[in-house]
Amino acid sequence: MLDLTSASLTALAAGLAAGTFTSRQLADHYLDRIRRLDGALNAFVLVDEAGARHLAEAADRRRAAGYPLGPLDGLPIAVKDLCDIRGQVTTAGSHAWRERVAQETAPVVSRLVAAGMVLLGKTQMVEFAFGGWGTNPHLGTPLNPWDLAEPRIPGGSSSGSGVAVAAGLVPAALGSDTGGSVRIPATANGVTGLKTSRGRIEAAGTIPLSPTLDTIGFLARTAEDALLLTEAVRTGAGQGGPVTPAPQADPARPLAGIRIAALDPADYPVPVHADVRSATVAAEETFRALGASVETVRVPFDFLRLMTANGVIIAAEAYAYHGGQIDEPGLRFGEGVRTRVLSGRAIAASDYLAALAYHAEMQALWRRWCGQYHALLTPGLADPAVPLSDVAEDMSSPAVFTRAGNFVDATGLALPAGFSQGGLPVGIQLLGAPASERFLAGLGSAFQRVTDWHLRTPDLRALAA
């Protein structure tokens, strides 16, 4: 029997094709799970039960008539609440925007619906997508499902998307990533996250944080699922290489010929938890066993400098978009987000332009470096999900490994890679060349064929009781 809590989109698609269940039955299953569990988890800001059932029934009618739209037809998904859907409220995580009704639907959402997907609702997020811990003081912070005793960070800014997938409320969810906002919640919640490179998925109709750095991505159970979604909505030119590396003579070593770079732990830009270091080393060995060459190297850039410059661009552009309202005393903005947005006002034009110039320089350097290596493997987060009580709004972002990917315009893939001694998920990140979503997903799929970290799910029986 297929366990729907941990089922991948591809497994669900096979079940629909075989007549094991209908799309309406799938939708009802996940809607019931949301109804029972999300009061505690707070992953969703909006659940559209009537709309979901309408879409599911339409998919069932198409399938019964012999006209399914494709592999995603009839499968459930949730979208981050920065995507406009005509007639629905888009809060972008802000209490001040709780009555902002969208006039049009974002193209990325329209393409999901055109592929036949069943939209269950919108997921919670950090206000204006400006934060990596996943906290939201006014609309509520989603509960990381791996520790029900002590609330821990869900990761941000796609916090609700990460929690919803990890908790089995939905098999996949859309997110966005400006400095790690897909990869951080994927790592913190033990799911897979694929960050596309800039322009690969149209961002129109999504609330911007930094147009220079914003990208769209997906959180899902597997790398194969994340790629399937990406391909359904992708608009960027080029195919980005094969789904998997070229076939090898030895099927036990499918990644023969692939060169992966890894960091010496002594060169990590920040201290990294021992359990994260161990999982990263184990992942390196797994890739070696699959035939890849994993070489310890020194990367030609400084993670901390890239993180800082990335932050300059984000703050300046966030203030350009939100500055007209962020000072209004009658609007309830989170003080942490308000402070971060207002920090953009103090950034001199010369500093912003210097950060943009450095951004262009590092993009060119990354493209050259990718001529030597197919991917860079790093930890996803320096620590397993920390308790919310340890987080202060003025703390540095947890995005030290992930922001570099946005700054050099890498494709990024977060993969579950183990658990801490306390039972919290830990993960790795693969960074690849721009437009290499298919290739990176191939590496991730090879890794997930010989590991089962991505199939583990949290025990939520206490919430369901």
Q: How many CB atoms lie within 10 A of CB 239?
A: 14
**CA neighbor of 27 nearest in space, from 73, 89, 81, 82:** 73
Residue 453 — φ and ψ, nearest 5°?
-60, -35
CB crowding 45-61: b at 16 or more within 10 Å, else e = bbbbeebbbebbbbbbe
66, burial (CB in 10 Å: exposed 0-12, middle 13-18, buried 19+): exposed
Q: What is the DSSP letter of 371?
A: T
Residue 225 — φ and ψ, nearest 5°?
-65, -45
Interatomic CA distance for residues 339 and 393, integer angstroms = 9
Interatomic CA distance for residues 223 and 423, integer angstroms = 23
Half-sphere exposure of 254 (CA within 13 A, CB side): 16
**CA neighbor of 426 nearest in space, from 90, 183, 104:** 183
Catalytic-role residue among 80, 158, 159, 420: 80
Catalytic-role residue among 8, 157, 210, 420: 157
Q: Which residues share a beta bridge with 416? A: 427
Q: Which residues contact 215 (CB under 8 A, 6 or more apart)?
A: 176, 177, 178, 195, 196, 197, 198, 200, 201, 203, 406
Counting every residue, how long is the chain? 465
Interatomic CA distance for residues 146 and 168, integer angstroms = 12
195 is catalytic: no
SS3 140: coil
Residue 284 — φ and ψ, nearest 5°?
-60, -45
Catalytic-role residue among 158, 161, 181, 420: 181
Q: How far apart are the first and last CA of the chain?
A: 23
Q: For 185-223, give the DSSP string.
A: HHHHHT-EEEEPPTTSS--TTB--S-TTT-EEEEEESSH
6 is catalytic: no
Q: Which residues share a beta bridge with 414? A: 193, 429
Q: Angle at Cα 427 formed by Cα 462 and Cα 276, nearest 5°?
A: 100
Cα→Cα distances 329→96, 324, 326, 338, Å: 11, 12, 8, 11
110 is catalytic: no
Instruction: Give me the active site residues, please.
Output: 80, 157, 181
